[in-house]
Amino acid sequence: MIKFLLLINKHGQICISKHYQHLEQEDRQRLEKELIGICLKRGNKKSSFLEYHDFILVYRCYLDLFFIAGITKDENEMAIYEFFHLILETLDKYFPKLSEVDIQFNLDKVHMILDEMIINGNIVETSPARILAPIELLDAAKR
Amino acid sequence: MSAPCVLIASCCNLKPDFLVKEILKLDDLGNGTCILEKICAYDWNIETKYYTASVQLCTTEERTIGNESFAESVEAFLVCFDSHQKNSFDSVKSWLPYLNQLEPEIKMLVCHQCTENHEVKRLTVQEWCIDNDFELVELAPEEDSDENDDFPETTGIKRIIQALHAHTWSNLTMKENPSVCSPYVRQLMQDEFKAKKAQENQKSLDCAPNHVNKTACDSDEENQLRVDSSCVDCAHSSKSNPENQPEFEEAISLAQDVSKIDKEKKPKEKTKEESLDLLHACEDLQLFEALGTDDPGGESFEKLFERFGLMKEKAQSLPHQERKKYAEKVAVAFWRAMGGDEDEVEGLSETDDLDTECIPQNIP
């Protein structure tokens, strides 16, 4: 399963942080800081997978944003790696010409999209159309 | 409070003015306003999808924090250095105590290119950047053939602008209706617009027949209501007085009669609908005729052809006999539009015109 999912920019600032396993606030912050350092240092030219403490770290860099996930050892790394692409494609479908600003000003939407895709650390939906359906319904109702 | 500032400094021969020019996309900067000694400011209006903000790009030749109010207004810091010279990187490091005072949220280290072969190694620079919350931006990065072309990284001056856009400026004003909306919503709006238009057209066409239908329905409903209430009355009376049984039965049979009438009426309504469809069909036929008289083989054929799909659908909804006639009309119209010989179809269409119900309605 996915233990946590982070989205950070190149400044090392956290855009999105989702944890699917309980972690004390302090531990969480320490962990996040460490991981950000690791990923920024490695950049996107090194392997995107590495073992870290008791889990596997998977990350991918897109559009100057780092997608970082910590997964249990029984999870498929490649699947998560591709899942990042799906997240990005879904976001890009909703926000044409996606950039960091879109995420920054639509945190609620991004959280909703991720909540459609992951439940309790498990990937539950992979069809962009179905992921976006509830949000689009809300948008339609809001008008 | 004054506008938020981006402080731009340089620790190499790349002038801070150069970055300002690039950000503002100007060839000639002119003279900025000197807000403090050796600090020049240039206005920059930021416009993004979500907000607008006006900030000041400030250049400085030497390490300074200006004065207190200036230090407070600095929200971003850019510094250039040359990776070929170690002392250039050292002088960047000596900015750190000043930065502790300025506390900018965005810090970027700008260089032309930074590789492992340079005097200041890339890895060293990168580690320093991460430790000090800087972002390394190369103006002319090494070309790398990356496989994910769909979502490429932005580099150089574009990245600097992007990062500055992504900062939440203290004086930003949100746009009320962000122009971004998902493709789905856009589609929805278009559909709604179309539907509205179609509705308006429909209204003008259907006005009269709809009215007739409605009144018929209304009277039916009234009948139903009356019967219901009478039934209830009878039920009451039958409970209190068993001798009224025959009366009650009578009422029931009456109700059944009415419902029978209802059932008979429903098919009638259907035929009404059919005739409505026929009306539309007649409009098409009118079109055929109008087109048929046009110059043969010209635009009229194209117009007709465009509507062919629609005609087919319409024909399917018609009853068998009508469908045949309709098909014949279509064929004749096509024949005329194609510029076929009039003699071939003359007799056909005329006899049909007389047979078709709708023609008398069309002729006033």
pLDDT per position as a tens digit, A51-62:
888 888 898 888
Check if A81 contacts B (Cβ < 8 Å).
no
* Tens of pLDDT, residues B225-237: 444 444 444 444 4
Lowest mean pLDDT among B179-188, B215-224, B344-353: B215-224
B5-166 fold:
Rossmann fold (3.40.50)
Instruction: Establish whether this prediction's ipTM goes over 0.90.
Output: no
Question: What is residue B181's predicted lDDT score, i.e. its pLDDT?
Answer: 59
At residue B33 the predicted structure's pLDDT band, cuts being 50, 70 and 90, is confident
Cα–Cα distance measured from residue B167 to residue A51, given in angstroms and rounded to the nearest whole number: 33
Which of A44-48, A93-97, A109-113, B80-84 shows the lowest mean pLDDT across its residues?
A44-48
Q: What is the pLDDT of residues B240-254, one digit of tens each?
A: 444 445 554 555 555
Parallel, antiparallel or unpaired: strands B74-80 and B106-111: parallel
What is residue B274's predicted lDDT score, i.e. its pLDDT?
A: 45
Taking the C-alpha atoms of residue A109 and residue A75, their distance in angstroms, rounded to an integer, is: 27
Q: Where are the domains of chain B?
A: 5-166, 180-266, 268-364
Instruction: Out of B174-188, B255-269, B290-304, give the one with best mean pLDDT.
Output: B174-188
CA distance B314 to B306: 14
Which DSSP string do the residues of B133-168 spell out, in sequence order?
Answer: T-EEEESSPPP---S--SSPPP-HHHHHHHHHHTS-
Instruction: Strands of chain B (E only): list them.
Output: 5-10, 33-36, 39-47, 51-60, 74-80, 106-111, 135-138, 173-174
For chain A, give every domain's residue range: 2-137
Least confident stretch, B41-50, B187-196, B247-256, B300-309: B247-256
Using one digit for the tens of pLDDT, what is the confidence trace for B143-180? 665 555 667 777 788 888 888 888 888 888 887 765 55
pLDDT tens-digit series, residues B322-339: 888 888 888 888 777 777
Of the pLDDT bands very low, low, confident and very high (cuts 50, 70, 90), residue B207 is low
Which chain A residues contact residue B50 at CB under 8 A? 101, 105
B130 contacts A37? CB cut-off 8 A: yes
Average pLDDT, chain B: 69
Kindly report the CATH class assigned to A2-137. Answer: alpha beta
Cross-chain Cβ contact A139/B185 below 8 Å: yes
Kindly list the distances between the CA atom of residue B212 and the CA atoms of A142, B201, B204, B208, B219, in Å, as whole numbers in the listed order: 38, 19, 15, 7, 11
Task: Give contacts of B184 with chain A, Cβ < 8 Å.
Answer: 132, 136, 139-140
pLDDT at B38: 76
